[in-house]
Amino acid sequence: MSENETALLERCRAGDRDAFGFVVKKYAGRASGAACLLLGCPHEALDASQEAFVRAWRNIKRFNTSSPFYPWYSAILRNVCRSRLRRRARRRTVALTDGHGDSSSDSDPVLLAERNERRDALWRGVMKLSDPFREIILMKHFHEMSYKGIAAALGIPIGTVMSRLHSARRALRETLAGESS
């Protein structure tokens, strides 16, 4: 992490909202992309990632400024998205037809950089995976975390990280194979 960011985060801790603005803008793209993957659709991605920033600000006093900001924020975002998924699952048992996740625009890779046909197809495939699979793909491939880091963040053994990633990538290959045939 740059010295610059440490200084910014110190200012945030002191209550400087402009400094927090810089931090938010720095991570906004990554944050909304991550929320989109965690939620499995782009509808609430912006809103969820913004809510997580608000929570981060309210808890900024508990943040250790000598550690990097994004992993800390990322844990908050994960909780925001998880509770939204839970709420959505509850709603779904009440109203089975809710339209979410059905339309093709739901999986549009609008948050992806340097798009091409292959990458678009890959994104759509990832979006079709189950919640835990999308989560671990996000951590490994977008956040470039090590198995050890993922295990610590999710509170699971490294062996589980390995087998979950294995299953996730296998499921992804099956989805992609089904698509092209």
Q: What angle do CA 55, 60, 62 make, to 5 degrees?
A: 110
Minimum CB separation of residue 100 from other proteins in Å reads 22
117 touches other proteins by CB under 8 A: no
**Buried b / exposed e along 60-91 (16+ C-beta atoms within 10 A):** beebebeeebbebbbebbbebbeebbeebeee
113 touches other proteins by CB under 8 A: yes
Among residues 76, 79, 85, the alpha carbon closest in space to that of 40 is found at 85
43 vs 57, which CB is nearer to other proteins? 57
Residues 3-42 that bind other proteins (CB under 8 A): 17, 21, 24-25, 28-30, 32-34
92 touches other proteins by CB under 8 A: no
Asked if residues 33 and 123 have their Cβ atoms less than 8 Å apart, the reply is no
63 vs 85, which CB is nearer to other proteins? 63
Residue type (1 letter), 165: L
How far apart, in whole angstroms, are the C-alpha atoms of residue 20 and residue 108? 30
Residues 147-166 that bind other proteins (CB under 8 A): 147, 153, 162-163, 165-166
Secondary structure of residue 130 in the 3-state scheme: coil
Minimum CB separation of residue 96 from other proteins in Å reads 28
Residues that bind other proteins (CB under 8 A): 17, 21, 24-25, 28-30, 32-34, 46, 50-51, 53-55, 57-59, 62-63, 72, 75-76, 79, 83, 110-114, 118-119, 122-123, 137, 140-142, 144, 146-147, 153, 162-163, 165-166, 169, 172-173, 176
